[in-house]
Amino acid sequence: MLILGIETSCDETAVALYDTTRGFLEGCTPRAGLLAHALHTQVALHDEYGGVVPELASRDHIRRLLPLMREVMERGEADVHELSAVGYTEGPGLAGALLVGASVAASLAFGLGVPAIGVHHLEGHLLSPLLAENAPAFPFIALLVSGGHTQLMHVSGIGQYALLGETRDDAAGEAFDKTAKLLGLPYPGGPALARLAEDGRPGRFRFPRPMIDSGDLDFSFSGLKTAVATLCARHALDKATRADVAHAFQEAAVDVLVAKCVAAMERTGLERLVVAGGVGANLKLRAALDWAAASADFDVHYPPLEFCTDNGAMIALAGALRLSAELRDSRSGALRLSAELRDRRSGALRLGTDPSIMHAASPHCAFTVRPRWDLSEIVGS
């Protein structure tokens, strides 16, 4: 089956094409199924505003999405009529941005008579380490560290996610971004701060490690950002000082993330940790986790760097895994998908393995977007 994946939740328009016959075969790694992927980042568009402007993001997704879809189909050497499903990010994210991807995906799926599969953005991130050469087996602990989320999840299988702990205030990526702003760095702050930190002198400043000894698996990052703001107000921010602050901030954030991961591994007794989301691209975090994993005797898996931040491949893969799971579970041949298209008058499920059912369906085509959506809500779905 060929699945197209569409990601438009924030400031990246991304598309990918996934082939389950290549990716899910016995003896293959899921990476083998990824036929093509393409991405347009809006970083330059939002740069002058110091952060994402939602309306501009939506408009740019409209401009970029169809050309990217064409490019991916061409590079994957596939025809749109060969698609078995269209996956799209249903949430969480910016409402207008999500609507662009969802409406294009649902329209294409409706036209082709195939299912549109709404994918949880964090489920995409969480499964993205499967795209690495050494894909982790279930079960594992996932550290999700993005611009909007910091969570530790117990992952038993596709759709089986239990929340172990999460941030009580800012997300880790948000703390990187806000601290970067305090240091006068351009958006997006995380990578810029990490680069500046390389020039910082270890030991000049030390920030608190919030909640590191709290005894639970929750996080808090807003106090760390406030500590940086207080220090910045007291020092002349010459280039060397800014680098020292960046270094000390990164050390503190990484220490907390690593300590909570080690605690989660100890508490659950699992053997594999996966790290996903934009902050997972941070090389200091990776090095510290690798060291901790070697000391505490667990394995740690990351997505390839290009699939750490938002991308279409993770949505295509998550859509493909969901579709395969649904097909396996389905007794009657009818698909139970989160983005199911229903005939509004009768409420009848109009999705089927036979595409002719779709063509006979009512012209009403419904889809959902969920700007706020908790990953643990899809447990067992």
Which residues contribute to the site for ligand KG4 (CB under 6 A)?
10, 146-148, 173, 176-177, 188-191, 194, 277-279, 281-282, 309-310
- Give the shortest CB-50-to-ligand KG4 separation in angstroms: 13
Distances (CA, A) of 210 to 12, 97, 102, 302: 31, 33, 38, 25
- Give the shortest CB-373-to-ligand KG4 separation in angstroms: 13
Q: Which long-range contacts (CB under 8 A, 24 or more apart) does 358-364 make?
A: 358/110, 358/113, 358/114, 359/113
Report strand pairing: 2-7 vs 83-91.
Answer: parallel
3-state secondary structure of 166: strand
Q: Which is nearer to Zn ion, 244 or 310 (CB)?
A: 310
Residues 349, 362 contacting (CB under 8 angstroms): no
Report what 190 binds from Zn ion, ligand KG4, none; CB cut-off 5-8 Å by kind: ligand KG4
- Give the shortest CB-92-to-ligand KG4 separation in angstroms: 9
Q: How many other C-beta atoms lie within 10 A of the C-beta of residue 85?
A: 29
Binding residues for Zn ion, rule: CB under 5 A, are: 146, 310
Rg (CA), the chain: 21
Residue owning tokens 């930190």: 197
- Give the shortest CB-298-to-ligand KG4 separation in angstroms: 23
- What are the strands, taking DSSP E only, across 20-139? 34-41, 83-91, 116-120
Report what 177 binds from Zn ion, ligand KG4, none; CB cut-off 5-8 Å by kind: ligand KG4
Two tokens, residue 71:
């490019």
Residues 128, 140 contacting (CB under 8 angstroms): no
Report what 106 binds from Zn ion, ligand KG4, none; CB cut-off 5-8 Å by kind: none
Q: Which is nearer to ligand KG4, 247 or 350 (CB)?
A: 247
β-bridge mates for residue 18, sequence order:
3, 34
- Give the shortest CB-194-to-ligand KG4 separation in angstroms: 4
- Give the shortest CB-327-to-ligand KG4 separation in angstroms: 28
Q: Which is nearer to Zn ion, 43 or 237 (CB)?
A: 43
Q: Which is nearer to ligand KG4, 110 or 249 (CB)?
A: 249
Return the half-sphere exposure (C-beta side, CA atoms, 13 A cut-off) of residue 113.
Answer: 12
Please state, in angstroms and rounded to a whole number, the distance separating the CA atoms of residues 171 and 50. Answer: 18
Report what 188 binds from Zn ion, ligand KG4, none; CB cut-off 5-8 Å by kind: ligand KG4
Distances (CA, A) of 60 to 48, 51, 64, 263, 372: 15, 15, 6, 42, 22
DSSP 349: B
Report what 281 binds from Zn ion, ligand KG4, none; CB cut-off 5-8 Å by kind: ligand KG4
Q: Which is nearer to ligand KG4, 176 or 298 (CB)?
A: 176
Report what 191 binds from Zn ion, ligand KG4, none; CB cut-off 5-8 Å by kind: ligand KG4
Q: Which is nearer to ligand KG4, 172 or 358 (CB)?
A: 172
Q: Which is nearer to ligand KG4, 85 or 194 (CB)?
A: 194
- Give the shortest CB-148-to-Zn ion separation in angstroms: 7
Q: Which is nearer to ligand KG4, 122 or 358 (CB)?
A: 122
Angle subtended by helix axes 189-197 and 172-182, to nearest 10: 70
- Give the shortest CB-329-to-ligand KG4 separation in angstroms: 29
